[in-house]
Amino acid sequence: MTPLYVVLALFAFVGLLLALSYNRLVRLRNKVVEAWRDIDVQLQRRHDLIPRLVEIVKGYATHESELFSELARLRSEAEEASGAAAKSEPESKLASALGKTIAVAESYPSLRAASNFLSLQKEIEETENEVAAARTIYNGNVRIYNTHIQTFPVSFYADLLGFEPDAFFQAETADT
């Protein structure tokens, strides 16, 4: 009977270790999801600011219509993409176009002095800072999660349990 108990105890021990490891994997994956939600919120905030920026700049810079339509196109492209990997490129392009629009706006002295533009510019700057911070947190979580599932012994069973490496979010922020 004794060898049977030993085997059972071993099974129970291994089962307990697996359960703990599984819980840790779930926790780490949930952190990645949670951090991504943060990025999503900040990106949505950025997208919401674009029509307001266009509306203000349009009143002064009437012949920059090409830039505005480019901005609108990039915004809808970025909104259509989902997930970190797919969103990285369109969001980078959108951020660059946003930076360009602000630079154009700043070349109009009357617009640069307008209070609504100044407050919007501040809001954009804050949003870009939050996007950058949320990206740092997300990428940090992804790094920890990916390292965990790719190292021994978790690498043996992570794939079987449906845990796959996540993509980093590599989008740039607008230069405000």
Partner 1 sequence: MFEPEYREVEAEERRRLLHSFGYWDLVALGAVVGVGLGLLYGLAHESSREAWYVFGGMAIGAICALIIGWARVHSRARERFFARWAAARQWCYEAAGQPFEDTLFLQSGDKRKASDFFSGFWPGSGAVLYQHQRIEKNGDDENVTKYVVLHFSLSRPLIDLLQISPRSHAADLGETLLGHHGEIDKRIELESTELDQHFRISGLRGREDEVRRLLTPSAIVRLLEFQRAFPDGKASFEILGSNVAFLVEKTLSPKRPQLIEELLELWRPIASWLMEEAGAEARPS
Q: Is 57 or 95 the residue whose CB approaches partner 1 more closely?
A: 95
Q: Give dist(CA 164, CA 29) in Å, integer.
A: 9
* Cβ proximity of 85 and 167 under 8 Å: yes
35 binds partner 1 (CB under 8 A): yes
For partner 1, which stretch binds (CB under 8 A), given 13-21, 91-99, 109-117, 140-148? 140-148
- Cβ(141)–Cβ(32) below 8 Å: yes
Interface residue with partner 1, options 107, 144, 151, 165 (CB under 8 A)? 144
| Residue 141 is a binding residue for partner 1 (CB under 8 A) | yes
Name which of 129, 133, 43 is nearest 87 in CA terms.
Answer: 43
Exposed, middle or buried by CB within 10 Å (0-12, 13-18, 19+), for 70?
A: middle
Q: Any contact of residue 173 with partner 1 (CB under 8 A)?
A: no
> Which residue number, 101 or 141, has a Cβ lying nearer to partner 1?
141
Site residues for partner 1 per CB under 8 A: 28, 31, 34-35, 37-38, 42, 129-130, 132-134, 136-137, 140-141, 144-145
